[in-house]
Amino acid sequence: MCAEKFDFSKNPIEELYGTNCFSNAVMKERLPKSIYKEILAVQAGEQELTLEVAEVVAVAMRDWAISKGASHYTHWFQPLTGLTAEKHDSFISPTHDGKVLMEFSGKELIKGEPDASSFPSGGLRATFEARGYTAWDVTSPAFLKQDKTGTTLCIPTAFISYYGQALDKKVPLLRSINALGKQALRVLRSLGNETTKHVFTSVGPEQEYFLIDKEFYDKRPDLILTGRTVFGYMPAKGQELEDHYFGAIKERVVAFMRELNVELWKVGIPAKTQHNEVAPNQFEIAPVYSTTTWATDANQLVMETLKTVARRHGMEAILHEKPFAGVNGSGKHNNWSIGTDDGVNLLDPGENPENNARFLLFATAVVEAVDRYALLLRAGAATAANDHRLGANEAPPAIISIFFGGPLTEILENIAEGKPIIHKDTGEKIQLGVTSLPSLPKDVSDRNRTSPFAFTGNKFEFRMVGSSQSIATPNTFLNIAVAEVLAEFADKLEKSSDKNKAILNIIQESYSKHRRVVYNGNGYSDEWVKEAERRGLPNVRNAVDALDILTRSETIQLFEKHGVLTEEELESRYHIYLEKYAKQINIEAGVTIDIAKRQIFPAVTFYAGRLAKNASALAAIGAASAPQEKQAKRIAEFSADLFDETARLETVLSEAQEADDPFIKAKAYFEKVIPAMSAVRVKADALEKLSSKSVWPLPGYEDMLFKL
Instruction: Work out the pLDDT band at 422, boundaries 50, 70, 90.
Output: low
CA atoms of 482 and 488, how far apart (whole Å)? 10
pLDDT for the residue numbered 640: 95
Closest CA to 441 of 457, 429, 455: 457
Count of helix runs (H) and strand runs (E) in the chain:
25, 20
Q: What residues contact residue 32 under an 8 Å CB cut-off, 6+ apart? A: 56
pLDDT tens per residue, range 678-703: 999 999 999 999 999 999 999 999 99
For the chain, the structural domain boundaries read 17-168, 178-565, 579-706
CA distances 142 to 8, 43, 125, 152, 398, Å, are: 25, 13, 29, 11, 37
Q: Is the pLDDT of residue 163 over 90?
A: no
H-helix or E-strand spanning residue 500:
helix 499-514
Instruction: Work out the pLDDT band at 421, boundaries 50, 70, 90.
Output: low
pLDDT tens per residue, range 28-38: 999 999 999 99
What CATH number does the domain located at 17-168 have? Answer: 3.10.20.70
pLDDT for the residue numbered 125: 67
CA distances 368 to 84, 363, 365, 463, 484, Å, are: 34, 9, 5, 18, 10
Closest CA to 456 of 278, 332, 286, 333: 333
> For a pLDDT cut of 70, what percent of the chain falls above it?
92
**Burial class of residue 610 in the structure, from the number of CB atoms within 10 Å of its CB (0-12 exposed, 13-18 middle, 19+ buried):** middle
Does 359 or 648 have the greater pLDDT score? 648
Q: Is the pLDDT of residue 437 over 50?
A: no
Does 174 or 447 have the greater pLDDT score? 174
Out of 1.20.120.1560, 1.10.1200.10, 3.40.50.720, 3.40.50.10490, the CATH code matching 579-706 is: 1.20.120.1560
The answer to whether 642 and 687 have CB atoms below 8 angstroms apart is yes
Dihedral, CA of residue 292, residue 300, residue 167 and residue 660, to nearest 10: -120
Q: Is the pLDDT of residue 399 over 60?
A: yes
Kindly calculate the radius of gyration of the chain based on its CA atoms and give it in whole angstroms: 28
Bridge partners (DSSP) listed for residue 207: 285, 332
pLDDT tens per residue, range 295-340: 999 999 999 999 999 999 999 999 999 999 999 999 999 999 999 9
Q: What is the pTM of this model?
A: 0.93
Tell me the pairing of strands 70-76 and 21-22.
unpaired
Average pLDDT (488-503) is 93
Tell me the pairing of strands 70-76 and 150-161.
parallel
Instruction: Work out the pLDDT band at 27, boundaries 50, 70, 90.
Output: very high
CA atoms of 386 and 466, how far apart (whole Å)? 6
Q: Is the pLDDT of residue 353 over 70?
A: no
Q: Is the pLDDT of residue 445 over 60?
A: no
pLDDT for the residue numbered 53: 95
CATH architecture for residues 178-565: 2-Layer Sandwich (3.30)
φ, ψ for residue 206, nearest 5 deg: -85, 125
